[in-house]
Chains A and B, each alone.
Chain A
């Protein structure tokens, strides 16, 4: 499932659809149609970053998961997405959030139960001991699973290299001397100076300590508003 803000860099979407088709994935896209139509967006519309992220990401995610919102499902015969309504709720999501990304993620659990509103009660998280996680749930619970919590950016690239996982070309320098380290919406994501053109070169670059003083998500402006931007979003159900 992909929550599409419709502000993503076009190559990301092309990459998504290409693999969804080739690997015959059951691809579901969610989006907040009303907010997009009403122009409650940033920077083109009349919203702040936090408001824009709240409607395009958090709300869209919540409503797509619960089935209240529409889901666009990829039709492999035509390669087009078909809008559906009234889907069954999902009871869990597996997310790639990592503790090294920012403050509120550094306090996550591997298995994080959310209530019906997707809200996250940070002060009262379940204990995790000795590889035993919270895997028993009362009916109606929604769970976020974060298997990569203890991975670093370097670990991810090492794994991509070792397992030969295809990645979108935006992560590599296309000859302009810049590449993306973290991919978000077009208006809110900036590339970094880098000439790394392959996975191996990215690994070397990260190992060299070139970016050791620059946060991976520093190109993501949404994190910066009021200092607690992501915590606020994540408490309400953002990934």
Chain B
């Protein structure tokens, strides 16, 4: 098909690359530091400096190195950085992307966006102003974002006569703060960004300082190795089928976050617990490979055709498994305009998983500028850092941030926006789930009449039962469910077929989105409970119902009975259907068996 395109040529040697963020309080000289560093190392495109100088002259403003980074009109007008900028810089050692973060509080989310992709940081403190609010907040956030390599630049030394005592005082104060947040800085550097002291070479205006200049410091940051020595974590992004040429294989696609994977490995999927052996590793337009490792986006085929969903986590048998939990203790920072509140459904994105979560407890809220904590907060305000508990209806697979950060951190979506981010500190074993708690609360709040279930059973000659017809799409579940209703109805049962389409529960027709699907099942569980509690037999169908989803339905339907009829290939592994039917369904026989089953369970007299 390709014209000049052919097979790949071997990759040329690629230089090492590192992302570094420059952070600190507003106006302490971050953009100036980067601008001057670019200028003094000859890294600027020809005429760029002259252009900015000319622009300043035309607008009757003093020249600022910062304008090399602060490219936006509004930034130059206000003399502040509004949004994080990336710039590219080469040293003899390697290539850098230097990320200039804004120091103004208003733009904290921009600072976090920049810092979250960095491997190391330079924290800038104005020698004259000393340690300020955002010097501390940014320092704390670095530790939360998991960036441990930090050097501190005490800037504007020219304003304090290059006085060593000023430098030492700031060093003492700030080192103590960093220690509290678990960061041991790689160095403190007295500099004058605007004047170029200790940037590219050691300045003779501070003979008392014998340490490295900024450039040397940055080059000494260590590049972290790809986490291939950790257990395998491959978050399933999607399952693909290329059916065009009759290829029926399911290709499980995703990026390997940690560990390695080889053809022949036995892999386990969490939370479902399904397992299989890797048959092949797939790559487009390339010779097949036997092994892939952390950092690679890849696709694999398995020895058995498992039914998997995006968001599951692939691990390797024999390696440390991830946690499977529905109750996470986390540290979370909140960026949303609306506070984070209890009782509201949020969306959590954790690697490739998207799940509804609820904030159920706020342990404490931290003021990152002085590390004081406050208990008894009712909600999490913008820019708060909170230790709290998040709960899900279905268990999720994750890791603790201290072990495998890649699958131990998440973001929270509120009203289509990323409104917060956090790291997982602990994950409780799935015990008292949100669904169970919900049912307990419901039972307490339920105003009941004097009629007890036994009376309804005696009157209707049946037990309130939810019958779920499950199995893959397109197996004739609905027709069967209706036929069963008809049969039971003619036989004198109080029965109802609930053909509750997605749209009736307020969802789009396509419930591929895990997030919406879970909420759909939750509402279905609530509705079912009303019918079965009233003593009816309720029949409904759910395509591709899996173990954890069944748990949720089961819990919400309690204390009434649940009967599962599976049609075609089973999606269950831990749980089992009460009745398995082949597709296509032999309706008369299937009805007979289903009716017998209901009778045998004393659901019919």
Contacts and interface: CB of A to CB of B under 8 A. Distances in A.
B325 interface: no
B45 A134 contact: no
Nearest to B285: A163
A150 B88 CA distance: 9
Contacts of A128: 113, 116-117, 418
A107 B146 CA distance: 23
B112 interface: yes
A127 B347 CA distance: 15
B1 A122 contact: no
Interface in B32-47: 42-47
A231 B55 CA distance: 15
Contact of B86 (A122, A125, A150, A227): A150
B411 interface: yes
Contacts of A122: 72, 74, 82-83
Interface in A158-197: 158, 161-166
A10 B84 CA distance: 38
Given A23-B1, A109-B113, A164 B82 contact: no
A164 B71 contact: no
Nearest to B335: A127
B9 interface: yes
A132 B2 CA distance: 34
A4 interface: no
B73 interface: yes
B444 interface: no
Interface string A136-158: 11100100000001101000001
B418 A127 contact: yes
Given A107-B72, A129-B418, A164-B5, A213 B42 contact: yes
A19 interface: yes
Contacts of A218: 45-47
B3 A19 contact: yes
Interface in A108-140: 109, 122-123, 125-130, 132, 134, 136-138
B120 to A, nearest CB: 16
B116 A129 contact: yes
B443 interface: no
B48 A215 contact: yes
A132 B11 contact: no
Nearest to A217: B45
Contacts of A34: none
A239 interface: no
Most A CB atoms within 10 A — which of B2, B47, B416? B416
A104 interface: yes
A102 interface: yes
A101 B8 CA distance: 27
A99 B453 CA distance: 67
- Interface size bracket, A side: 35 or more
A104 B418 contact: no
Interface of A is mostly: loop
Contacts of A138: 416
Nearest to A22: B3
Contacts of B416: 134, 136-138, 141
B3 A162 contact: no
B12 interface: yes
B9 A164 contact: yes
B433 interface: no
B12 A158 contact: yes
Interface string A1-37: 0000000000000000011001100000000000000
Given A104-B71, A130-B421, A218-B46, A136 B9 contact: no
Contacts of A23: 1
Contacts of A18: 3
B86 A99 contact: yes
Contact of B83 (A100, A102, A107, A136): A107
Interface string B83-125: 1111110100001010000000001011011001100000000
A44 interface: no
Contacts of A107: 71-72, 83-85
A132 B413 CA distance: 11
A231 B83 contact: no
B418 A132 contact: yes
B14 A158 contact: yes
A129 B9 contact: no
B86 A228 contact: no
A158 B14 CA distance: 9
B426 to A, nearest CB: 19
Contact of A104 (B55, B72, B117): B72
B113 A127 contact: yes
Interface string B233-277: 000000000000000000000000000000000000000000000
Nearest to B83: A107
Contact of B45 (A19, A125, A214): A214
Interface in B347-406: 347, 349, 406
Contacts of A102: 71
Interface string A214-237: 110010000000011001000000
B7 interface: yes
Contacts of A149: 86
Interface in B406-423: 406, 409-411, 413, 416-418, 421
Contacts of A123: 74, 82-83, 107
A162 B11 contact: yes
B4 interface: yes
B586 to A, nearest CB: 45
B45 A106 contact: no
Most A CB atoms within 10 A — which of B2, B88, B116? B88
A96 interface: no
A103 B74 CA distance: 13
Interface string B42-82: 11111110010001000000000000010111100000001
Contacts of A162: 8-12
B6 interface: yes
Contacts of A130: 116, 406, 409, 411, 421
B86 A213 contact: no
A24 B351 CA distance: 36
A73 interface: no
Interface in B321-337: 335
Nearest to B42: A213
Contact of A213 (B4, B46, B82): B46
B411 A106 contact: no
A98 B82 CA distance: 19
A136 B347 contact: yes
Given A104-B71, A203-B12, A127 B86 contact: no
Contacts of B51: 227
Contacts of A127: 109-110, 112-113, 335, 411, 418, 421
Contact of A134 (B9, B47, B409, B417): B417
A127 B113 CA distance: 5
Nearest to B68: A103
Nearest 3 Cβ contacts at the A-B interface: A103-B71, A215-B45, A166-B4
7 contacts: A99-B86, A99-B97, A128-B116, A134-B416, A136-B417, A162-B8, A164-B7
Given A125-B83, A127-B109, A150-B97, 6 more contacts: A106-B87, A122-B82, A134-B417, A141-B416, A152-B95, A165-B5
